[in-house]
Amino acid sequence: MAEPTEKPDLSRHALFEGVAPEALEALQAVSEVRHIAGGEALVRQGADADALYFVESGRFRVVINQARIVAHIEAGEAVGELAFFAGGKRTADVIAMRDSSVLEVSRRAFDDIALRHPELNAAMLKLVSARLAVATARTASVTAKNPRVIALLPAGTSQMPDGFLARLAEAFEAVVRSETPVVPLDRATSEAADAHEYQAWLAEQEAAGAYILIDGSGSEDWGQMVCRNADALVMVGRPGQTDPAPNAMEEAAMRWIAEPQRTLLLLRSNAGKTISHSGDWIDPRAPKLHHHVALDNDADFTKVARFLTGRAVGVVLAGGGALGCAHLGVIKALQQAEIPIDFIGGASAGAAMGGAIARGMSVDETLDQMEAMFIHAKAMRRFTLPIYSLLDPTVFDSELRTRYGTRDIADQPINFFGVSTNLSTNGLHIHRRGPLWECVRASGSLPTILPPFIDSDGNILVDGGVLDNVPVKVMHGIKAGPNIVVSLGDPNEVWRTDVQYGDIRGRWSLLRDVVLRRKRKAEFPSIVEIMSRPMVVASRMASKEMLGQPALNDPTGQAGPFRPEGPFLCPDGSRRSGTEYYMPKSEVRGCYDNRRKLKFLKELAISSHVANSAKAAGVAVSTVYSWRERDPEFFRQWMRSLAAGYELLEMDMLDRARNGVERPVFHEGEQIAMVRQYNDGVGVKLLLAHKQMVALARAIEEDINPEQVRIDLDRKLGDMRMKLLRRRAMAEGEGKQSTSDNDE
């Protein structure tokens, strides 16, 4: 292992590239080294932003309202820069994910050095702009950074199998290939390292971008050091052979490493061995994911590596009624293409097909099972008195128990989830535990067709397609990595009937036809069709939304309606106006998109806020970014609008800085005066938020080097900040508090 660094070196941080060495030396001289133990808070939400931090080693998570993790911060990054430069309170908790060290710089010390070295401001503003760009684009930065330091511990009274760490490291290498180094570290190293040496070695490996797999078994001191400096915890157990209760080392590790970073591996000797009682291991550990690993199957090790590196392949199967068997064709095609299925989930018929695959059944076996259940046993053709439902579920339930079994979802060899609609809680119910057959039954409980399923907690569950027929968001929330989404049917399919409303028959006519077994040529839609159709509609709308397509009404079957608010731009470049009329579908789509683009650009030029502009245009944020990627001209217009919006914001900032804002003064509930307040923080925030975007916008518009624009902006912002600092110093020298310090 490398020797520990005697003195932190700020020049190692990419953030300070281009900053003069004397500036870094001065900044380093006034900084203090702080060591933060894993699980402790570096800053708290709502506290004063009176210091700036630079991470030397370790990792932190950013948590809003003590609940939502929004980012991870690694070595070489800054902490708290947004609140530090804008002034005000901390907007989130920053918690150490493992033993970490930071450099702390006070506000007064940084301002003093920045007066002499303005390039420090430029470096920090660059970081601020990048952070704000990520937030504005709603990039999922928290999922983009996979755990790099992974601690492995024996679970319960289990022992780590010989060669287990080496096999897992080989699987990692096969998944990441040559792009990323993989470093396994076994327990034999435990006697050759102290805490500082170990942390320095970790920092060196992380700087190289390596995945580090560490066996934490052995002495208690070694295990604690490994777990306190790990991003993720992998617990390895042997069900059926050892006690599932967590051992002391596991309990300590779970206090340091949060649930989203915990994984449980349940080993069995061979792939043919039955899996059972997984819940006894899962419940006391609350891992985000668990995996079954057969020691004679290399593919299981590779699967675990894909999950831990954010590359696991998910398959999401939509509901579709009788069309559900078509999912099996997609599954067969994936298998023939040798595309792995690491996680599978679905709604309604998708849950039924996914559950069969999760059990380890082949496509042919699943088809045979469906034929036996629905054709031979006629499970869905047994009517009853319409008190609880139209169909008698007795045979259907019996078939499900037989075909899917009573084993827990957690005991299936492939990870699986199903969704149903919870009428008790008015929300989506995600099935990841409980008997598999109950999940399939609840997820496929068509309202009025089948009675709702009542689970052990008394929840009333009906078909998952009622709320989410394409549960891809559920899959996104469970795992990182690519997903294959299968939605059945044509989103543009139109369902009509030749029957007139007056043709609906009364009860005596219906009874006579039933007795005489008479059928009419044009039958009024049945209750089954009517109840199932809303879920089909939901599926079609969800599919269009996923594809970025507008859900247009089409009363003619040949065209879509378009109600312009005035002249509008069509795909051929012409402008049209008028009342409602119909045009070919392809033309409707182009006109509709162009109108929304124009409205979005107009709003963007006023507000410079992407999300608000998209909302005003009636389009999703993801759609406008898709337009920008596909359409170079739209991208250029986007930049022009942002530049215009920036000019408005800059003028507003200057007006506030020069003229202030009048605010009323009240005494005992009555207004007694008006005072003029000055808020420099507002202007600084506006400039920080838009500096990078205006640089690119002006470069595109004026066909010049964007770097030159950035340099000019940096100079202007540095001059402005120094003027503000001088004014603050003059005010303090006169013995009064400058109103310009009243940041939010």
The long-range contacts involving 199-204, CB below 8 angstroms and separated by at least 24 positions, are 199/4, 199/57, 199/58, 199/99, 199/101, 199/229, 200/1, 200/2, 200/3, 200/4, 200/5, 200/57, 201/1, 201/2, 202/57, 202/149, 202/229, 203/56, 203/57, 203/75, 204/2
Q: List the catalytic residue out of 463, 468, 593, 714.
A: 463
Decide if 550 contacts 533 (C-beta within 8 A).
Answer: no
Would residue 572 show up in a list of annotated catalytic residues for this protein?
no
Asked if 104 and 51 touch (Cβ cutoff 8 Å), the reply is: yes
Residue 198: DSSP 8-state: H
Radius of gyration of the chain (CA): 31
The residues pairing with 34 across neighbouring beta strands, listed in sequence order, are 102
Selected catalytic residue, list 348, 487, 543, 608: 348
Q: CA–CA separation, 367 vs 373, rounded Å?
A: 10
- Whether residue 178 lies in the annotated active site: no
Q: Evaluate whether 262 touches 231 at the Cβ level (below 8 Å).
A: no
> Is the CB of residue 475 less than 8 Å from the CB of residue 345?
yes
DSSP 376-398: IS-TT--B--TTT-SB--HHHHH
The answer to whether the beta carbons of residues 460 and 493 sit under 8 Å apart is no
Per residue, the 3-state secondary structure of 38-71, as one string, reads CCCEEECCCCECCEEEEEEECEEEEEECCCEEEE
**Residues making up the chain, counted from first to last:** 744
* DSSP letters spanning 415-472: EEEEEEEETTTTEEEEESSSBHHHHHHHHT--TTTSPPEE-TT--EEEEGGGT-SS-H
Contact call for residues 724 and 740 (beta carbons, < 8 A): yes
How many angstroms separate the CA atoms of 712 and 670, rounded?
48
Contact at 8 Å (CB) between 560 and 588? yes
Give the residue carrying structure tokens 């060495």: 21
Q: Residue written as tokens 């402005």?
A: 720
Q: Are 679 and 656 in contact (CB under 8 A)?
A: yes
Name the token pair of 299: 């593919």
Catalytic residues: 348, 463
